[in-house]
Amino acid sequence: MAQVILQDVQKSFGKDIAVDRFSLEVKDHEFMVFVGPSGCGKTTTLRMIAGLEDITAGDIYIGDRLVNRIPPKERDVAMVFQNYALYPHMSVFDNMAFGLKLKKKPRKEIEHRVKETAEMLGISEFLDRKPKALSGGQRQRVALGRAIVRVPQVYLFDEPLSNLDAKLRIQMRLELKKLHERMERTSIYVTHDQIEAMTMGDRIVVMKNGLIQQVGEPLELYFMPTNRFVASFIGSPTMNFIRAHIEQAGDNLMVGSEGLQLPVPDKKIEALAAYGNREVILGIRPDDLSATGTLGERGTLRAGVVVVQPVGSQIYLEVKVGSLSLIASVNAQTRVKPRQEIILKARLENLHFFDPSTEKAIY
Amino acid sequence: MAQRFAQKLLRFYIPLILFLLFLLFPFYWMLVTTFKSDVELYNLSLNPFYIYTWSLANVKHLLFDTPFLRWLFNTFLVSVVSAFISLATSLLAAYGIQRIRFRGSGFMGIAIFFCYLVPPTILFIPLATMVFKLKIWDSLVSLSIIYPTFLIPFCTWLLMGYFKSIPKELEECAMMDGASRLWVFFKVIIPLSLPGIVSAGIFAFTLSWNEYLYALTFISSSLKKTISVGLVTELVRGDVYHWGPLMAGALLGSVPIALIYSFFVEYYVAGMTGALKE
């Protein structure tokens, strides 16, 4: 059993606070992803769990053990670094056997385990080579192998895929996930790539400026972001944000801005009633704008196409609604040209609302 | 094509050749003087750049009438010992300052650098007192422990720069795998810094080899002198310069250095650029 528990963990470098009030419980065998823009403290947090960085305040438990003062080598964790950190003067075999040799395992066992792991990762044929004779993807596998071969309680990944090209990254994403299922170990994975986070994580921690913004399952973050930052960080293309007014129109509550009037979805009416005649931030995901509407229908808006970006499965449209600039992700079959006028239909139940001063979501 | 070659010639080869001529001329002069007879050397009507009749008299005089071979051995011994002491000390110092972020490590680095900036012309007086008190006056031991005073700061700075180029993750990864600090130092840092260590070693060796002032001050017996001092004190008598043997000594004295440099040139270049290629 190796859950990882962080309680009010704080890290400061001099006066700068890098990580603040970080509390989290990573369950046994869970694949937890830390995501956020660079400098948000995600790597620092990972390094604190690894023991490479002292913690300024708070407690970290691995399993049932308080590890605050336990050195890295006794924490039973393995880490995969962004730059792989392979020893350039050792062969792939020696790189992978390094930890086992230090643990004074019998030679037979080391050989067996390294070979088995190498086979699993498809690097058996490179065991005699030096890292510099390998491609980026192969080095990545060796780094992975070196971590796996030790079979620690917890795996830590620090942006392990960010040095690979896009195609390889997607392939490794899948392999890592499969590996996780197979190894049945707790994993904590740091990335700045929200797609990596969404596709790999059982749960995701979104961080910004050293603070946890939200912890949740991937789709929970997508559909119910707790604040504007999470809403903008998760999902691609980024959510459209519009400063809008809540107005009472007959029986309906309407949200409107220049050139745009949408009825407030039923489930949000109660929460938004308090914002009557006040400003809110309306969030619409590009995916929730389709080109299937007919004018006059509930939740439609008239838009002028500015830029058309086909990506294959979808077409990203940059459109003008009044003076607002919005992105819509519409069906690939849609035939549109720049300067053409179209009718967009918003999926009303998926509209997001944020308080303009706190930027928190209004539920 | 021709134009490009002409440009390269003008911008690259011609300056390079001029530079080479400028650098190599003293060596040529040494060579020519060594193998001339005195008669030819002092005859101003002859072409000084050319040897009319080759002679080994100067070399013979140097090797058999002066303790030159003894000086060579002394110089070698002192250079090796002081380079070794300096390297062993600097490796630990540089690693400590660069990687173990103890309180005042930055200050320590700068303080060591300042030691290097104090010129020997000032230091030799207090050092002389110390050498007297330690009763190692006129012995090679004095040079072997005085030379590290300027070698250690130099090597420490060179190695600090080199250690900086080794990714920290390599150490961190090893430590997570269960290695101790010393283990990491010997099995990861030292093998990876070989080019840096070799170039620091070469520098230390060369600087000791060429050192003049301390050797002049602390050594007086003829048999304990180093080459740089021995040649000047024993082959310049009053205002009489024995040019032939002097140049022969200079030539033979620089051969070992040239050999070492050419032998380690690859390490040395890698060490100076400090780049660790994976």
Q: Is the peptide bond before A237 cis (omega within 30 degrees of 0)?
A: yes
Residue of B nearest to A74 (CA): B178
Cα–Cα distance measured from residue A67 to residue A17, given in angstroms and rounded to the nearest whole number? 21
Contact list, A139 vs chain B (CB under 8 Å):
278
Both tokens of residue B160? Answer: 């600090």
| pLDDT, position B272 | 67
| pLDDT, position A30 | 95
Contact list, A75 vs chain B (CB under 8 Å):
176
Contact partners, residue A111, CB within 8 Å, separation at least 6? A97
Answer yes or no: do A102 and B179 touch at CB < 8 A: yes
Answer yes or no: do B175 and A150 touch at CB < 8 A: no
CA A84 to chain B, closest CA, distance in angstroms equals 8
Q: Taking the model in full, what pTM does it have?
A: 0.83
| pLDDT, position B207 | 93
Cα–Cα distance measured from residue B182 to residue A152, given in angstroms and rounded to the nearest whole number? 23
Q: Which of B167, B176, B188 sits opposite A73 (nearest CB)?
A: B176
CA nearest to B278, candidates A83, A79, A165, A97: A83
Contact list, B174 vs chain A (CB under 8 Å):
87, 98
Residue A316 has pLDDT above 60, yes or no: yes
For testing contact with chain B, the best of A48, A52, A135 (most B CBs within 10 A): A52
pLDDT tens for each residue of A122-135? 899 999 999 999 99
CA B218 to chain A, closest CA, distance in angstroms equals 44
CA B205 to chain A, closest CA, distance in angstroms equals 27
Answer yes or no: do A98 and B174 touch at CB < 8 A: yes
For testing contact with chain B, the best of A89, A100, A140, A188 (most B CBs within 10 A): A89
Cα–Cα distance measured from residue A226 to residue A362, given in angstroms and rounded to the nearest whole number? 8
Contact list, A73 vs chain B (CB under 8 Å):
175-179
Tell me the three state secondary structure of residue B137: coil
Cα–Cα distance measured from residue A154 to residue A48, given in angstroms and rounded to the nearest whole number? 13
- Name the burial class of residue A56, with classes exposed (0-12), middle (13-18) and buried (19+) by CB atoms within 10 angstroms of its CB: middle
Cα–Cα distance measured from residue A23 to residue A6, given in angstroms and rounded to the nearest whole number? 5
For testing contact with chain B, the best of A13, A70, A81, A159 (most B CBs within 10 A): A81
pLDDT tens for each residue of A251-308? 778 888 877 888 888 888 888 888 888 899 999 999 999 988 787 788 888 899 999 9
Cβ–Cβ < 8 Å for A60, A73: no
- State the alpha helices, DSSP H only, in chain B: 2-8, 14-34, 38-41, 57-65, 68-99, 105-117, 120-133, 140-146, 148-164, 168-176, 181-184, 190-192, 194-210, 213-218, 227-235, 243-263, 265-273
CATH superfamily of B67-277: MetI-like (1.10.3720.10)
Interface A-B, measured as beta-carbon pairs within 8 A, has a size of 60
Per DSSP, A283 falls in state E
Tell me the three state secondary structure of residue A142: helix
Cβ–Cβ < 8 Å for B154, B116: yes
| pLDDT, position B278 | 41
Contact list, A132 vs chain B (CB under 8 Å):
277-278
Cβ–Cβ < 8 Å for A110, A68: no
CA A152 to chain B, closest CA, distance in angstroms equals 10
Answer yes or no: do A102 and B278 touch at CB < 8 A: no
Give residue for tokens 């009030």: A21
- Contact of B176 with chain A, judged by CB distance below 8 Å, is answered with yes
Cα–Cα distance measured from residue B164 to residue A308, given in angstroms and rounded to the nearest whole number? 49
Contact list, A85 vs chain B (CB under 8 Å):
167, 169-170, 172-173
- Contact of B170 with chain A, judged by CB distance below 8 Å, is answered with yes
CA nearest to B156, candidates B255, B90, B252: B90
| CATH code 1.10.3720.10 region(s) in chain B | 67-277
CA nearest to A290, candidates A260, A257, A316, A256: A316
Q: Which of A79, A82, A132 sits opposite B176 (nearest CB)?
A: A79
pLDDT tens for each residue of A208-264? 999 999 999 999 999 999 999 999 999 989 999 999 988 887 777 888 887 788 888
- Contact of B190 with chain A, judged by CB distance below 8 Å, is answered with no
Contact list, B175 vs chain A (CB under 8 Å):
52, 71-73
Answer yes or no: do B175 and A72 touch at CB < 8 A: yes
Answer yes or no: do B278 and A88 touch at CB < 8 A: yes
Cβ–Cβ < 8 Å for A81, A160: yes
What string of pLDDT tens digits covers the 278 residues of chain B?
778 888 888 889 999 999 999 999 999 999 999 999 888 888 888 888 888 889 999 999 999 999 999 999 999 999 999 999 999 999 999 999 998 878 888 898 899 888 888 888 999 999 999 999 999 999 999 999 999 999 999 999 999 988 988 899 999 999 998 899 999 999 999 999 988 899 899 999 999 999 999 999 999 999 999 999 999 998 888 888 989 999 999 999 998 898 888 888 877 777 766 555 44
Residue A80 has pLDDT above 50, yes or no: yes
Answer yes or no: do B170 and A87 touch at CB < 8 A: yes
CA A91 to chain B, closest CA, distance in angstroms equals 12
Contact list, A83 vs chain B (CB under 8 Å):
167, 169
Cβ–Cβ < 8 Å for A114, A93: yes
**Hey, what amino acid is at B56?**
L
Tell me the three state secondary structure of residue A250: coil
CA B195 to chain A, closest CA, distance in angstroms equals 13
Phi, psi of A153 (to 5 degrees): -70, -40
pLDDT tens for each residue of A114-171? 999 999 888 999 999 999 999 988 999 999 999 999 889 999 999 999 888 889 899 9
Cβ–Cβ < 8 Å for B178, B68: no
More confident site: A48 or A270: A48
Per DSSP, A265 falls in state P
Tell me the three state secondary structure of residue A306: strand
Q: Which of B175, B178, B277 sits opposite A103 (nearest CB)?
A: B178
CA A158 to chain B, closest CA, distance in angstroms equals 11
Answer yes or no: do B177 and A73 touch at CB < 8 A: yes
Answer yes or no: do B191 and A89 touch at CB < 8 A: yes
- Contact of B126 with chain A, judged by CB distance below 8 Å, is answered with no
- Contact of B100 with chain A, judged by CB distance below 8 Å, is answered with no
Both tokens of residue B161? Answer: 């720069």
Q: Which of B175, B178, B188 sits opposite A87 (nearest CB)?
A: B188
Give residue for tokens 């395992």: A105
| pLDDT, position A261 | 85
